[in-house]
Amino acid sequence: MSRTAATREKALDAFGDPTRRRIFERLRHRTRSVREIADGMDVSRPAVSQHLKVLQQAGLVVVCSQGTRRLYSIEPRGIAALRGWLDGFWDEALTAFKEAAEREASRERKR
């Protein structure tokens, strides 16, 4: 398995957990601390930290230290890699649709 494929697999696995998806959603609009992420969630701060670690290892989240605080944000490169992979499916579907439409148009012209 290539490095890119392995990274993609980690990202997809990370999103397989609903708590991690909610954590990721909380980072969608801005950088946050673990405390800010955990506020209002049904999981503890240590659990949020563990989920963030998985997201970070999957290349979906980055962390930066600001004094004694650790702030988390979305890693755009990780999202771009996943999007590129998903776009491949869309491209294939559009190509197949175009070919089917052209075949149908060709049949109609022959009638």
Alpha helices in 42-75 (DSSP H): 45-57
Residue with tokens 């148009």: 105
Specify the fold of 3-85: Arc Repressor Mutant, subunit A (1.10.10)
The ranges assigned to domains in the chain are 3-85
> pTM for this structure?
0.76
Render each residue's pLDDT in the chain as its tens digit; 111 residues: 677 777 788 889 999 999 999 999 999 999 999 999 999 999 999 999 999 999 999 999 999 998 889 999 999 988 888 888 888 888 788 888 888 888 888 888 887
The residues, ordered by sequence, that sit 6+ positions from 79 with a Cβ below 8 Å of its Cβ are 60
Distance CA 42, CA 57 (A): 23
Provide φ and ψ at 72, rounded to 5°.
-110, 145
